Structure 1
Amino acid sequence: MVRPIRTQVVVVGGGPVGMLLAAELVRYGVDALVLEREASTSKRPKATTLHARTVQTLARRGYLPAPEPSRPSGTVSSPFHFAGIPGLRITAPAAEPEPVLKRTQADIERLFESRARAAGARVLREHRMVGIRQLPDRVAVLAEGPRGPVDYEADYVVGADGARGTVREQAGILSDTYDASVSAMMGLVRLDDPHALSAGWHRTANGWVVVGEAADGETHIRTANFTQPGADRGRPLSLEELRRETSHIMGRDIAMSSPRWLSRFSDYARLARAYRERRVLLAGDAAHLHFPIGGQGLSTGLLDSLNLAWKLAATVRGSASESLLDSYETERRPAAERVIANVRAQVSLMNPEVRLDSLRSLISGLLVDDRGGSHLAGMISAQDTVLPARSPAPSPWEGKFLQNIALTTESGPADVISLLQEGRMLLLLFGTDAAGQHEKAARRWGCSLRVVRAEPVAVVPCEALLVRPDGYIAWASDGGGLDETLAAYLAVEGDVRSAG
């Protein structure tokens, strides 16, 4: 009998979400193995947008470059849209990266895969997960590879296997669903007349056509028809169907040829009722699915990975509090629920019926208004996210994201982005008499916590801040005791437990 291959975490699905999770886990010292059914990164056109909070957190983990130190103060902004209505501007502090990053999903996946492999993750392509079985202290995983079936055992399994993945179903996790009301198509084609469709969003009385310029003279076309519910996504799409649909919506013949990557989709939405079932967790489209508008899908999935990785790693290493891993669901599921809600609202606004024109006009005015536009921009970019407090007596700052601020430390100039590169929880002490007391209290948590005495260049809210690896404030000195908060996150050094 061949013994199963042992690892600490099996990540099922090697798209951007799974590859980022694996890269993070191995950086935290956890043995991670990725099972991916595809032989290589797909070149199929998918997401191309990363929003501000995702970009900011990725910069704090070293996957994206930070702004130059000489960057001026103030804010930077990038134009965007809401339901195809222009005028929205996504704004972020100038000390942060650009608030909207345009980069293909394939490029992002390759970046994370290279980082994961370089850090020591085992990435097994052409391996399909066919079964999981939860045991009291581990998970048995059966995969099918090029040479036949392979058995694995892991402390935990994470399903990052996308919308059609099976980890969710095999773990017995139910979902809340929303039926499709829109039939949509997409594909890469060559237009017989390159000037027949200009790049951008085209709304007519018959629906929408979204046009993007691709490489080598190809055109990326997406259509949305609101007069019929979404067709079966699995049914093959022909070039003639895409041509006929595009021509119908535009009200004139649009000739096209040389089709690639033709597919159907809809506004069907799904949200898993739980993100964890014992030793199986979900991330990305495996946990939440919605209509691909507004560039929120990929960003939401990557934020899942960035939230989960350090918590799962600490749990596997035995340095986490007993409740830390459960906070993944309590923090990330509401975020996905909000995304699904705002996407459904955008789909409603996209319905081309004339009766909605006055509502679209109202929204258009809100987009350019400072307060209305800021609200929608914060929602789309996830910069309005405030996490639930975990401290017994929380500070008003707890749960908020700590923006990048310049600091002077004993080692020289630094900022929040650079200090979080290590991935540990960070205790910032701003040179007051009470700082010594906080530093003494932090010693019980040893190497799980990094303590830095600093002088801020700008005003900071409190004399001491505890910052999570993902950039959110876990504690501030105007709240309750530091000990109680650290105990909600970490196990005391010397009191570690076995994984689970």
Structure 2
Amino acid sequence: MHSHHQHIYDVVIAGAGPVGLFLACELRLLDLSVLVLERAEDPHSPLKRLPFGMRGLSAATLEAFYRRGLLVELIAAQRANDGAGKTGAAAHWMHQPRRPAGHFAGIQFYHDDIDSSKWPYRLPSPADTSMAVELETLETVLARRASAMGAEIRRGFSVDDFLASDADVTVRAGGETFRGRWLVGCDGGRSTIRNAGGFEFFGTDPEFTGYSAEVEMADPQALRAGRHYTPTGTYTYTRPGTIAMVEFDGGAFHRIQPITLEHVQAVLRRVSGIDLTLTGLHLATTWTDRACQATAYRKGRVLLAGDAAHIHSPLGGQGLNLGLGDALNLGWKLASTIRGDAPAGLLDSYQVERHPVGAQVLDWSRAQVALMRPTQSTRALEAIVRDLIQTRDGATYFAGRVWGISLRYELGGSHPLAGRSVPDFEFADGTNCGNLLREGKGLLLDFDTNASLQSLANHWRDRVTYAAGEVRDRLGLRAVLVRPDGFVAWASEATPDNEEAAQIISRWFGEPEDRVGSA
């Protein structure tokens, strides 16, 4: 295994999907050297485009992109696509009188039912609650940003295996070897890194095979448009030929053999109960509701993020947002660990914070499957959930979960804002948290301009930005400490005690600058 890459990267990332690319951006923000290895030669694929490549981005994801200056770029790129007239057919809800806000197992909830006063710690910001984007557009924007920031992306390099020591990781890919201090597997649901690393992966077996297909029908009128529950499964049809369907067969067909026109036609006949004929099959892919999660997200110098760490059905579109949340959480913690200023246990907090979030999303996915089973008792239960989702409290609950607004890390601290995404406080000069978090540093907000707090913050100025002054709405707070990922570590309604503030800051940002190295 001859190596001519004796260069050691700080981090090698396997997989150039959205999660790997976003992580690369986060690590470059803090000046680490990053190599991304991607199996596919060509980043483009029809499955990343309409109609199947559409993904909903949650409030949590949009906030992260906004705080990194990526949102404007993403919106512009998606608009250029829409301008090319590509999204017309996909947005079938545009013709509905009410604006849908999301769904649970196909049961819609609507914007006008949501009571946002239930979320007191949200301030107006350019990051909306949700946005649809094509996967290909998202990847293009993230790859462009990662490259511009100096990450090295190599396509056509499939990671075969790796060898981890106490000091570094040697990765074999595409007949070459690469060395990194750390390796992160962002290489998807069938992750090589997870398998080669011997990570335990536990969960539940599938109940169905799902299909997404673009077809031609002898008689496009033979099938009713919309979503339908049947005695064998469900199907959704958008004219002229976009079909998504689920057959409760225990996931028997997924990835067993090529998907033929005859097979899709047979399944569609079984699920719809209609004797229709397909004359063409343009595109077809299968998926299941198998839901599994790695018990550990880290083993030594090897970490997992995104689908490599957790898989579940695409119902409700949570997977991408979950993965991007992993990258956001991991980036600054890994960077701080590599730089040597991380407090004890910081890297372990990645697993502590993200594993429960993943487990919750897996259960959210399982609950939707339970509500789709083609039995009489499930249809009865579905009618009750439908009633609940149409109430104000119901719609607000589902929106909070689907949009990621109810996400809260258990960080200790008595204030209800601790562990939540920071509100976009706006200072008198127009500066807001979104601008202040752009560089990937922490943020100490001091609404009283307290001189002793400022001199304290000065000790961490290489890692924490200090911002003082009156804001448009301080939500009753005097001081807020924000982590680089935009989550509040600590919030105080009283004038902060310096001793307490110093402890809180060092808990997340390590020893102050003047004490590092002198210990």
Instruction: Settle same-fold status: TM greater than 0.5.
Output: yes
Task: Tell me if 1:43 matches 2:46.
Answer: yes
Task: Tell me if 1:152 matches 2:178.
Answer: yes
Q: Is the 8 A contact 1:52 1:381 kept in 2?
A: yes
Q: Is the 8 A contact 2:100 2:108 kept in 1?
A: no
Q: Is the 8 A contact 1:132 1:141 kept in 2?
A: yes
What residue identity is the alignment partner of 2:508?
Answer: Y
Cα pair distance change 1:195/1:62, threshold 3 Å: farther
Question: Which residue of the other structure, out of 18, 21, 24, is the alignment partner of 2:20?
Answer: 18
Cα deviation 1:451-498 (Å, max 9, x = unaligned): 01121111323211111222211112357711111111123225558x
Q: Is the 8 A contact 1:78 1:100 kept in 2?
A: no
Task: Tell me if 1:54 matches 2:76.
Answer: no
What residue identity is the alignment partner of 1:43?
Answer: P
Query: 3-state SS of the aligned residue for 1:362?
Result: helix
Task: Tell me if 1:281 matches 2:300.
Answer: no
Q: CA deviation at 1:123?
A: 0.5
Distance 2:247 2:60 in 1: 32
Structure 2 equivalent of residue 483 of structure 1 = 502
Q: Is the 8 A contact 1:77 1:98 kept in 2?
A: no
Structure 1 equivalent of residue 148 of structure 2 = 118
Cα deviation 1:345-402 (Å, max 9, x = unaligned): 0111011212222211111111121222212221122211111115xx5544311222
Query: 3-state SS of the aligned residue for 2:145?
Result: helix
Structure 2 equivalent of residue 407 of structure 1 = 427
- Aligned 1:66-105 pairs, distance under 5 A: 78-89=100-111, 94-105=124-135
Structure 2 equivalent of residue 430 of structure 1 = 447
Question: Which residue of the other structure, out of 223, 231, 236, is the alignment partner of 2:253?
Answer: 231
Question: Which residue of the other structure, out of 139, 146, 152, is the alignment partner of 2:169?
Answer: 139
- Aligned 1:104-253 pairs, distance under 5 A: 104-144=134-174, 149-197=175-223, 200-212=226-238, 219-253=241-275
Distance 1:199 1:461 in 2: 50
Distance 1:224 1:140 in 2: 42
Query: 3-state SS of the aligned residue for 2:334?
Result: helix
Cα pair distance change 1:5/1:78, threshold 3 Å: farther
Q: Is the 8 A contact 2:3 2:176 kept in 1?
A: no
- Aligned 1:363-442 pairs, distance under 5 A: 363-389=385-411, 394-408=414-428, 412-432=429-449, 435-442=450-457
Cα deviation 1:267-310 (Å, max 9, x = unaligned): 11110001111111111100000011001011111111111112
- The unaligned stretches of length 5 or more in structure 2 are 76-97, 117-121
Q: CA deviation at 1:130?
A: 0.7
Cα pair distance change 1:260/1:482, threshold 3 Å: farther
Query: 3-state SS of the aligned residue for 2:371?
Result: helix
Cα pair distance change 1:176/1:347, threshold 3 Å: same
What TM-score do the two structures reach when normalised by structure 2?
0.86
Distance 1:490 1:406 in 2: 24
Q: Is the 8 A contact 1:400 1:472 kept in 2?
A: yes
Q: Is the 8 A contact 1:77 1:99 kept in 2?
A: no
Q: CA deviation at 1:97?
A: 2.4
- Higher relative helix content: 2
- Aligned 1:464-475 pairs, distance under 5 A: 464-475=479-490
Q: Is the 8 A contact 1:230 1:267 kept in 2?
A: no
Structure 2 equivalent of residue 6 of structure 1 = 8
Q: CA deviation at 1:202?
A: 2.4
Distance 1:181 1:340 in 2: 14
Query: 3-state SS of the aligned residue for 2:486?
Result: coil
Structure 1 equivalent of residue 473 of structure 2 = 458
What residue identity is the alignment partner of 2:18?
Answer: P
What residue identity is the alignment partner of 2:210?
Answer: A
What TM-score do the two structures reach when normalised by structure 1?
0.89
Distance 2:56 2:224 in 1: 20
CA RMSD, 1 decimal: 2.4
Cα deviation 1:206-234 (Å, max 9, x = unaligned): 21113357xxx7x4322111254443424
Cα deviation 1:32-80 (Å, max 9, x = unaligned): 1111010122331345211122112221121113999xxxxxxx98521
Q: Alignment length, in residue pairs?
A: 475
Q: CA deviation at 1:413?
A: 1.4
